[in-house]
Structure 1
Amino acid sequence: MNNEIPSLFDVEVPGTSTAQTPLPVQSEQVAEIRQSFERAGITSQDQRKEIVESVTFRSIAGLRDLQAVEAHRLLKVLKSMQTPKPTRQGTAWDNREEDTWIDKL
């Protein structure tokens, strides 16, 4: 058997693999996190920091310190905290916003 061709059963020696560094948070993610905080009605910086640290399990000085994976998890949590818009019941006529000429008669 040729020694140059790797065998199917060759196992990589532990410790020789390179550890991947986590990706940093993207600017788009930071903007989306800020919008999600606003939509959820969370305006207090202390409350925001508490939520971020509860998701990341570590102390964070600012949103730019997040990793991309942590930002993704935070966005999922924030989206679940947002209050959904109430669905309207009835017809378009029942749900009209303005008075029509018939209403003014």
Structure 2
Amino acid sequence: MTYEESGLFDLAAAAPTSPVVEEIPISPEQIASIRNAFDNAGIASMAERQEVIQSCVIRKISNIRELYSRDVRQVLTRIEGWGRTQAAASGSAWDNREEDTWIDKL
């Protein structure tokens, strides 16, 4: 075999294709679940709500309707942990533990 002959790996170069990912907008049910989560967590101010949402996504969000369906799970997880991290600032890690240990059950 010479260098001029076609070899085993001389395939025609195909045009690179990038997968088209269509972003699904947030649904009204998802908006309601985020708002309920904010209410349950006691996050009432719009500035704090926007801070929580903005901490989950990379792009700038000015309205909850700009979120995508794929963002909702991250936002709900952050809301759930938001109150715990804020309240855990006082006391020691032992005082702020959530579950009882065997010592507590004695």
Q: TM-score, normalised by structure 1?
A: 0.60
Deviation at 1:20, TM superposition (A): 1.4
In the other structure, the counterpart of 2:6 is: none
Deviation at 1:55, TM superposition (A): 0.6
The answer as to whether partners of 1:23 and 1:67 remain within 8 angstroms in 2 is yes
In the other structure, the counterpart of 2:38 is: 37
CA distance in 1, matches of 2:15, 2:75: 33
Q: 1:13 and 1:58, CA in 2 relative to 1: closer, same or farther beyond 3 A?
A: same
Deviation at 1:59, TM superposition (A): 1.4
Question: Residue 60 of structure 1 aligns to which amino acid in structure 2?
Answer: I
Q: 1:18 and 1:58, CA in 2 relative to 1: closer, same or farther beyond 3 A?
A: closer
Question: What CA RMSD, in Å, does the superposition of the two structures yield over aligned residues?
Answer: 2.5
Structure 2: give runs of 5+ residues left out of the alignment.
1-10, 85-97, 99-106
Share of identical aligned residues, percent?
28
Residue-by-residue CA offset, 1:29-67 (whole Å, 9 max, x unaligned): 100000000111100101111111111122112111000
In the other structure, the counterpart of 2:59 is: 58
Paired residues in the alignment total 75
Structure 1: give runs of 5+ residues left out of the alignment.
1-9, 87-105
Q: 1:13 and 1:75, CA in 2 relative to 1: closer, same or farther beyond 3 A?
A: farther
CA distance in 2, matches of 1:28, 1:15: 38
